[in-house]
């Protein structure tokens, strides 16, 4: 069975992908806000 990857890790990868390619500020902003929300809702 594969280990579950947290949503925040997937979002971090999408942000890195945006930064390494053509910089689309709306995608960057959307992913950054999503990461903040995912981290805030993540069980500790």
pLDDT tens by residue, 1-44? 678 888 889 999 988 988 888 778 888 899 899 999 999 998 87
Residues in the chain: 44
Judge whether 28 and 19 are in contact, CB under 8 Å: yes
pTM for this model (two decimals): 0.68
Q: Angle at Cα 17 formed by Cα 12 and Cα 23, nearest 5°? A: 115
Q: Looking at residue 22, what is its pLDDT?
A: 73
Q: Is 5 helix (H, G, I), strand (E, B) or coil?
A: coil
Q: Looking at residue 33, what is its pLDDT?
A: 94
**What's the rounded Cα separation, in Å, for the pair 28 and 42?**
21
Q: Looking at residue 37, what is its pLDDT?
A: 93
Angle at which helices 25-41 and 7-20 cross, to 10°: 160
């Amino acid at each position: 069975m594969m280990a579950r990857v947290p949503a925040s890790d997937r979002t971090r990868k999408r942000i890195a992908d945006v930064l390494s390619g053509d910089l689309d500020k709306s995608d960057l902003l959307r992913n950054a806000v999503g990461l903040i929300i995912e981290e805030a809702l993540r069980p500790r």
